[in-house]
Amino acid sequence: MTIDVTSEFDAAAASYDRLVGASPGYHRNLSRSAHRMRLPGEGAGLHLLDLGCGTGASTSALLAAAPQARVTAVDASAGMLAKARQADWPARVSFVHARAEELAAAGVRGPFDGIFAAYLVRNLPDPDPVLAGLREALAPGAPLAVHDYALDGRRRSRAIWTAVCWSVIIPAGKVVTGRAGLYRYLWRSALRFDTVDALAARLRGHGLVDVRTATMPGWERGIVHTVVARRPA
């Protein structure tokens, strides 16, 4: 069954934070990925892009890694952005409603000193045009960090992912949000998405360099990864 992912996120926005907040390590792992960007000087003088910011969990993670940075946070879901804007943010954080494919039209232009894309690339109908645009939006030498369900390709990881989805994530999503479609989609999309090695190769194919991959602890080992790459200096 095909779903409109943005509409599903709109519908889930009101209770989304409660659901992900119950997931052990969700916020810590976002913070791990943001810190893996190795942003200098606590972000002083940097302008960062948080693409696919959702309700702001990734924005908070980015600020934890670079507390003095200016952050432009973008999402395609108006509902998720409305929830994000309810929090108390520093004046240097701004939110923009835009699809990842239409950043320039929404006035979101680089160069950025770092781009964080958490749980975004897997949801794009065609990742390659977006990734090509992000490469061009990076300042020379600046990092792009992709945080996502990009499995390691092992049968064990696929089995664990399926078991967790059908025993925990999908039932919890149904109970908390009243809808299960988004969470069934999450299960399928991770199985169909690039493995972590394929995602790293995809970034290299767009001219990014110094590509590094790292996974998460606990049950997400081999399932959730950070892939960090840089635009050549």
Compute the distance between CA of residue 43 and CA of residue 103 in angstroms, rounded to an integer: 23
CA pseudo-torsion sign 198, 199, 202, 207: negative
pLDDT digits (tens, 9 = 90+) for 64-123: 999 999 999 999 999 999 999 999 999 999 999 999 999 999 999 999 999 999 999 999
Compute the distance between CA of residue 149 and CA of residue 137 in angstroms, rounded to an integer: 24
Instruction: Break the chain into its structural domains and give their ranges.
Output: 24-151+194-230
> Can you read off the two tokens belonging to residue 172?
């919890």
**pLDDT over 70, % of the chain:** 94
Mean pLDDT score, 7-34: 80
pLDDT at 177: 76
pLDDT digits (tens, 9 = 90+) for 166-202: 999 899 888 877 778 888 999 999 999 999 999 999 9
pLDDT digits (tens, 9 = 90+) for 118-165: 999 999 999 999 999 999 999 999 999 999 999 999 999 999 999 999
**Residue type at position 163:** A
- Domain 24-151+194-230 adopts which CATH fold? Rossmann fold (3.40.50)
